[in-house]
Amino acid sequence: MQETHTLETIPTPAFVVDMKALRKNASILKEVADKSGAHILMAQKAFSCYATYPELAKYLSGTTASGYHEARLGYEEMGKPFGKETHVYAPAFTSEDMEKLLPICDHIIFNSINQWKTHRNRALSFVKSTRTPSFGLRMNPEYSEIETDIYNPCVTGSRLGILRELVDRELGTATVTEDIWDSSIFAGIEGLHFHTHCEQGFGPLQRTIRVIEEKFGDLLSLPQIKWLNLGGGHHITKNDYDREGLISEVKRLSEKYNVTVYLEPGEAVAIDAGYLIGTVMDIVENGMKIAILDVSAACHMPDVLEMPYRPPLKGAFEKDEKPYTYRLAGNTCLAGDVIGDYSFEKELRVGDRLYFLDMAMYTMVKDNTFNGMPLPSIWLQNDGGEVIGVKEFGYDDFKARL
């Protein structure tokens, strides 16, 4: 694509990744890793704009994936060319998945005892000849401070992770020793994975770790367990995050259990590092003024409807705070395709450009072509403010998905 523009001249709709902001986040994560000894991986489920991977590889230990496609992307774009780690977890893997994942992954994490039983022989046979990957199990500590159930993997009825009682039932004992572990189905498991966070600070993590140690500390103390993965959802790069507390806790865990600690932030890598730029197409009235845009909540920022939340918008204010209030909505047939109500100091006009902020994460990875809506093009903004085209989409991209 390689066109060069400014933010004011890009054809809309368009995603723009701010490389300076992305680099700032990544440098903070590197500092935490360097001081604590943690390996920090980028969760590609939040941000997979692989045009940025060569830069991110300077700061991060690698990528983590939620299935084969993400794992392959991480391996091809960061793992193989830059010698970085590739990790993968999914609620379930097929035998075909395993055949493709074993040669490219450093860690493979299984969601259930049954999944480990299903793939164990093939996995351990592969490791005998290569010494990689390392295998782990995702555990459910039955504790999380996430308030929204759709994002809480520890609620009753969750399919994510293994309860401690199921480990004990499999072993036939609640007292686990090296010999018991090595003579059980768990022989070959070298790591434990816990993911219990979503957009949270250090306090919830510290409290969760206490629960993890209470329920799983004996497993962590086994010499066979070489790593502890604390998952993602950590807002490490936010200004109010207690990074010194995190560094101290990672060091403590590493020393106490003789394990390597992994963190898998997604949002922390890409937070406040992107724009979604749209244009006002029309203004209609129905009890209030409604601006129809060429960007859509349903298609381009689904979390607006799923969370739900009201995305920040440059130069805009709360409803009725300024003289001119508008409801901003997408150009689809979905009645609920509403981004939010905003007020402005000046009237909006057809052709005006709007700049939605913090639009790097959970946008490009989730956007879709419902109603045949065009996918926004993707651009990178360099430190000098120039915006360079990475990818554009058209009718063929819509058709190819059907």
Q: Among 123, 210, 225, 219, which Cα is nearest to 171's?
A: 219
**36 close to 262: Cβ distance less than 8 angstroms:** no
pLDDT at res. 1: 65
Calpha distance 166→154 (Å, rounded): 15
Q: Among 75, 141, 60, 83, which Cα is nearest to 108's?
A: 75
Mean pLDDT within 368-388: 96
Calpha distance 270→237 (Å, rounded): 9
Joined tokens for residue 258: 């003789």
Which pLDDT tens digit goes with each residue over 72-130? 999 999 999 999 999 999 999 999 999 999 999 999 999 999 999 999 999 999 998 88
Joined tokens for residue 126: 């592969």
> Which domains does the chain possess?
37-270 (3.20.20.10), 274-359+367-400 (2.40.37.10)
Residue 58: is its pLDDT beyond 90? yes
pLDDT at res. 131: 83
pLDDT at res. 4: 82
DSSP 375: P
Strand partners, 344: 324
Which pLDDT tens digit goes with each residue over 125-160? 999 888 889 999 999 999 999 998 999 999 999 999
Which pLDDT tens digit goes with each residue over 197-217? 999 999 999 999 999 999 999
The Cα-based distances of 310 to 31, 152, 270, 328, 358 in angstroms read: 32, 21, 18, 11, 11
Q: Whole-number mean pLDDT of the chain? A: 97
Residue 282: is its pLDDT beyond 80? yes
Q: Among 35, 37, 63, which Cα is nearest to 48's?
A: 63
Q: Among 182, 214, 235, 229, which Cα is nearest to 29's?
A: 235
Joined tokens for residue 136: 């782990």
Calpha distance 387→277 (Å, rounded): 13
- Higher local confidence (pLDDT), 69 or 1: 69
pLDDT at res. 3: 79
Q: Measure the N-to-C terminal CA separation of the chain; round to a whole number of Å.
A: 24
Calpha distance 251→291 (Å, rounded): 52
Q: Residue 354: how many CB atoms within 10 A of its CB?
A: 25
88 φ/ψ angles, rounded to the nearest 5 degrees: -145, 145
Residue 96: what residue type?
Answer: E
For 301-339, b where at least 16 C-beta lie within 10 A, e where not — what string?
bbebbeeeeebebeebeeeeeeeebbbbbbbbeeeebbb
pLDDT at res. 51: 98
The Cα-based distances of 2 to 5, 377, 378 in angstroms read: 10, 12, 11
pLDDT at res. 129: 85
Mean pLDDT within 300-324: 96
Residue 279: is its pLDDT beyond 70? yes
Global confidence as pTM: 0.95
For 261-281, b where at least 16 C-beta lie within 10 A, e where not — what string?
bbbbbbbbbbbbbbbbbbbbe
Strand partners, 136: 109, 191
Residue listed under structure tokens 């990178």:
380
Calpha distance 237→233 (Å, rounded): 11
- Alpha helices by DSSP H, listed for 150-284, are 164-171, 178-182, 202-220, 243-257, 267-270
Which pLDDT tens digit goes with each residue over 73-83? 999 999 999 99
Which pLDDT tens digit goes with each residue over 232-264? 999 999 999 999 999 999 999 999 999 999 999
Calpha distance 322→122 (Å, rounded): 64
277 φ/ψ angles, rounded to the nearest 5 degrees: -105, 130
